């Protein structure tokens, strides 16, 4: 889907006209590279930084400028977008001594698209305000396909009026924007979406297992669900991939575990229980522990399969709960404040017990 945009967007902001020309984009992974591509298509000048440069090569070949750090990327940008993985990545990019809060120019807009912690979003907003910069959380939904099509739904922690200056840029990669009016509001709403998604995924995985074990046609069951009340966005878009054995990531399993963990942490703060999210966390944590963290979330259905099918897909059940007695002293990836003796979690403190080994981020990055 293409839209024609002017090469810069004049916007009224507190009585002055803000010309947005230069955009910096940090985090050009599955989602970020696509979103940044739409921003370029809309005619903005783009500077990019990603931890692994190769993932920005396509954008560079199209004329984007490479920066050697988030600070360098942000130096003269009117708007800086971030789309990194974990809250701890967001914290690094914004709040370290050479982070965006200090490095961006006064008056710049800092917009975090990552699914991250609501409290961290509030901290970043407040820190930016002190430095005369504008920051807000703006997580997205719509998946890889939404990023490819430029039709993402944005969930913004700001009022519609306050976001007006950057609306043309946001519209270059979205088709709908919901405003939750306060810092962190976008992240909280996104976590609500994620707990619903997580239960929908467990729901369709259960349904497919029941169909297959009963010896009826699982594809036809999906059709029934789609034409009745048992279907969901997850069963429409991801269940066919599960059935086809296509576990390539659009949305990484480890990222959904992170999101559910953040939601469970929030539920603890509120002193409520979320049984559906608890179940989903247990299952996604298991999938990540046995080697599925960089698979797409649709690989959840592998947990219901015979071991041979899991092995063929690259999973290893012997990794489950390995090293439970290993003590470690690391910062949890979920990025919220755990204090000294937290239980690591991918976002919540459930069920690991003392001295567990952390499985919350099986990716390659260091603790
Ligand atoms: P991804 O492919 O892992 O992309 C994240 C990118 O951020 C990676 O390229 C990573 O670098 C980079 N990065 C991480 N920390 C960095 C840092 N400190 N400095 C610079 N770059 C850094 O993940 P994704 O699927 O695009 O998801 C990104 C975020 O959006 C996640 O929070 C996810 O939960 C959320 N989300 C994803 C989807 C989806 O369908 N994929 C949908 C909605 C929301 P490396 O290349 O070195 O790893």
pLDDT tens figures, 249-293 = 999 999 999 999 999 999 999 999 999 999 999 999 999 999 999
Residue 61 and residue 57: Cα distance in Å, rounded?
6
Ligand 1 pocket, residue 350 CB under 6 Å: no
Is 21 a catalytic site residue?
A: no
In the Cβ-directed half-sphere of 230, how many Cα atoms lie within 13 Å? 14
3-state secondary structure of 319: helix
Span from the CA of 51 to the centroid of ligand 1 (angstroms): 10
Span from the CA of 293 to the centroid of ligand 1 (angstroms): 13
For the beta sheet containing 140-141, the strands, ordered from the edge strand earlier in sequence to the opposite edge, are 140-141, 152-156, 174-179
Confidence of residue 112 (pLDDT cuts 50, 70, 90): very high
What residue spans of the chain are helical by DSSP H?
Answer: 30-41, 57-61, 70-74, 87-95, 100-103, 118-130, 143-149, 160-163, 167-171, 185-214, 218-227, 233-237, 239-244, 253-270, 275-287, 307-313
Ligand 1 pocket, residue 30 CB under 6 Å: yes
Mean pLDDT of 186-194: 98
- What pLDDT is recorded for position 137? 98
Ligand 1 pocket, residue 85 CB under 6 Å: yes
Looking only at the bridges linking them, the beta strands covering 65-66 and 109-112 are unpaired
Span from the CA of 113 to the centroid of ligand 1 (angstroms): 10
Structure tokens at 285: 């944590």
Q: What is the mean pLDDT of the chain?
A: 87
CA dihedral (15, 16, 20, 25) in degrees, to 10, reads -70
Non-local CB neighbours of 365 within 8 Å, separated by 6+ positions: none
Mean pLDDT of 190-208: 98
Residue 211 contacts residue 218 (beta carbons within 8 Å):
yes
Percent of the chain with pLDDT over 70: 83
Which residue owns the Cα nearest ligand 1 atom 37?
A: 251
Ligand 1 pocket, residue 361 CB under 6 Å: no
Span from the CA of 363 to the centroid of ligand 1 (angstroms): 12
Q: How far is CA 233 from the centre of its chain?
A: 17
Convert 116-134 to b/e letters by CB count within 10 Å (16 or more is b): bbbbbbbbbbebbeebebb
Residue 34 and residue 21: Cα distance in Å, rounded?
19
| For ligand 1, mutation pick of 69, 84, 294 (most atoms within 8 Å of CB) | 84
Residue 146 contacts residue 89 (beta carbons within 8 Å):
no
For the beta sheet containing 134-137, the strands, ordered from the edge strand earlier in sequence to the opposite edge, are 65-66, 45-49, 22-26, 79-82, 109-112, 134-137
Q: What phi and psi, each to the nearest 5 degrees, are found at residue 246?
A: -100, 100
Ligand 1 pocket, residue 143 CB under 6 Å: yes
Ligand 1 pocket, residue 57 CB under 6 Å: no
* Residue recorded with tokens 């009826």: 216
Q: Which of 43, 38, 110, 128 has the alpha carbon at shortest distance from 74?
A: 110
Ligand 1 pocket, residue 250 CB under 6 Å: yes
Q: Count CB-CB contacts under 10 A for residue 319.
A: 15
Is the predicted pLDDT of residue 366 greater than 50, yes or no?
Answer: no
Percent of the chain with pLDDT over 90: 82
What pTM did the predictor assign? 0.88
**Least confidently predicted of 81-85, 117-121, 142-146, 360-364:** 360-364
3-state secondary structure of 17: strand
- What pLDDT is recorded for position 343? 39
- What pLDDT is recorded for position 367? 28
Q: Count CB-CB contacts under 10 A for residue 43.
A: 15
Q: Which of 349, 245, 258 has the alpha carbon at shortest distance from 302?
A: 245
Q: What phi and psi, each to the nearest 5 degrees, are found at residue 79?
A: -135, 135
Span from the CA of 33 to the centroid of ligand 1 (angstroms): 10
Structure tokens at 19: 């010309």
């Amino acid at each position: 889907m293409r839209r024609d945009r002017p090469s810069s967007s004049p916007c009224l902001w507190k009585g002055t006209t803000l010309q947005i020309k230069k955009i910096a984009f940090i985090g050009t992974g599955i989602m970020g590279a696509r979103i940044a591509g739409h921003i370029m298509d809309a005619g903005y000048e783009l500077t990019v930084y990603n931890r692994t440069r190769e993932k920005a090569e396509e954008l560079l070949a199209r004329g984007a400028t490479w920066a050697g750090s988030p600070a360098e990327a942000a130096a003269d940008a009117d708007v800086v977008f971030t789309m990194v993985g974990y809250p701890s990545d967001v914290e690094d990019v914004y709040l370290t001594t050479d982070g965006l809060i200090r490095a961006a120019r006064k008056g710049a807009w800092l917009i975090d698209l990552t699914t991250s912690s609501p409290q961290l979003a509030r901290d970043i907003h407040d820190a930016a305000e002190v430095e005369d910069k504008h920051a807000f959380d703006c997580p997205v939904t719509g998946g890889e396909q939404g990023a490819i099509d430029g039709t993402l739904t944005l969930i913004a922690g700001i009022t519609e009026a306050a976001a007006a200056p950057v609306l043309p840029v946001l519209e270059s990669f979205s088709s709908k924007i919901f405003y939750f009016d306060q810092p962190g509001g976008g992240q909280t709403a996104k976590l609500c979406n994620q707990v619903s998604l997580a239960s929908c995924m467990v729901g369709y995985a259960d349904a497919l297992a029941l169909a297959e074990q009963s010896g009826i046609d699982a594809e036809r069951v999906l059709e029934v669900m789609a034409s009745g009340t048992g279907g969901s966005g997850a069963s429409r878009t991801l269940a066919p991939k599960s059935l086809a054995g296509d576990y390539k990531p659009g949305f990484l399993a480890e990222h959904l575990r992170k999101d559910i963990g953040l939601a469970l942490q929030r539920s603890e703060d509120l002193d409520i229980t979320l049984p559906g999210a608890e179940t989903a966390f247990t299952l996604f944590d298991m999938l990540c522990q046995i080697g599925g963290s960089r698979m797409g979330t649709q690989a959840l259905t592998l947990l219901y399969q015979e071991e041979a099918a899991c092995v063929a897909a690259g999973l290893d059940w012997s990794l489950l709960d390995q090293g439970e007695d290993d003590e470690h002293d690391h910062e949890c990836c979920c990025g919220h404040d755990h204090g000294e003796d937290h239980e690591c979690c991918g976002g919540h403190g459930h069920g690991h017990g003392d001295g567990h080994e952390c499985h919350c981020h099986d990716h390659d990055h260091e603790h």
